[in-house]
């Protein structure tokens, strides 16, 4: 392959995907049919906890994040796991068609799952649009912008000098003094060797 970087030119934006029991940040979202109830696809990492939840849920929602979004929302849904915190209690949510969506965003889409396709790293979930609304006019944050500004957006504060361990692959943060021997990142699955301590 001559230069795989060209794939970064594919337009991807920042979304919070939610379903019953959890949610995460996703960027690979596409509308793949037209009409009144179009089909929308979203790719979710196989290692992700939300992926497991989606297998047992018929509905999910996508909340579209704007350029002015509170970075705490990205931190909560992107770098934490439901295994450690209740994300729905850390961020202001609104229930639509039985699914919690983010209140501080440009708008949402609620989808009924119709299909899923598994590949080596991700599962592509396909949903039919059943409800949608616009909360705010504004530009959606691109995945490229997030990648470029990640450090300033996600500065990690550890209160009272606590130790935190950061996954150098996906950015997941584990807030404990010690990292257990057999620790595996709940987001991307790597082992403790790829964690950096004392941020």
Stretch that binds Fe ion, among 34-42, 47-55, 58-66, 167-175 (CB under 5 A): 167-175
187 is a site residue for Fe ion (CB under 5 A): yes
Rule CB under 5 A: say whether 167 interacts with Fe ion. yes
| Phi, psi for residue 30 in degrees, rounded to 5 | -140, 145
Q: Does 140 bind Fe ion (CB under 5 A)?
A: no
> Which residues, including other chains, have CB under 8 Å from residue 111's CB and lie 6 or more apart?
40, 59, 60, 61, 62, 127, 128, 129, 130
CA distance 127 to 82: 23
Q: Residue 43 or 96: which CB sits closer to Fe ion?
A: 43
Nearest to 26 by CA among 39, 8, 7, 13: 13
Q: Which two tokens stand for residue 9?
A: 């030119």
Stretch that binds Fe ion, among 91-99, 121-129, 140-148, 177-185 (CB under 5 A): 177-185
Interior CA angle at 27 toward 23 and 29, to 5°?
Answer: 95
To the nearest whole angstrom, how small is the minimum distance from the Cβ of residue 127 to Fe ion?
26
Q: How far is the CB of 156 from Fe ion (least distance, A)?
A: 14
Q: Which is nearer to Fe ion, 39 or 82 (CB)?
A: 82
Q: Is 172 in the site for Fe ion (CB under 5 A)?
A: yes
Q: Which residues bind Fe ion (CB under 5 A)?
A: 167, 169-170, 172, 185, 187-188
């Amino acid at each position: 392959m001559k230069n795989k970087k060209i794939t970064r030119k594919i337009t991807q934006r920042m979304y919070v995907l939610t379903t019953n029991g959890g949610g995460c940040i996703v960027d690979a979202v596409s509308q793949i049919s037209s009409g009144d109830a179009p089909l929308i696809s979203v790719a979710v990492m196989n290692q992700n906890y939300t992926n497991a939840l989606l297998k047992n849920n018929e509905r999910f929602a996508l909340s579209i994040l704007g350029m002015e979004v509170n970075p705490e929302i990205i931190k909560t849904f992107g770098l934490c796991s439901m295994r450690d915190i209740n994300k729905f209690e850390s961020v202001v949510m609104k229930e639509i068609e039985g699914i919690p969506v983010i209140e501080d965003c440009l708008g949402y889409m609620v989808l009924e799952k119709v299909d899923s396709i598994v590949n080596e790293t991700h599962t592509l979930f396909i949903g039919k649009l059943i409800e949608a609304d616009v909360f705010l006019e504004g530009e959606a944050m691109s995945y490229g912008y997030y990648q470029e500004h990640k450090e300033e957006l996600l500065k990690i504060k550890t209160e009272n000098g606590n130790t935190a361990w950061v996954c150098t692959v996906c950015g997941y943060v584990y807030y404990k003094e010690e990292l257990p021997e057999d620790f595996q990142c709940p987001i991307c699955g790597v082992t403790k060797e790829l964690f950096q301590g004392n941020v």
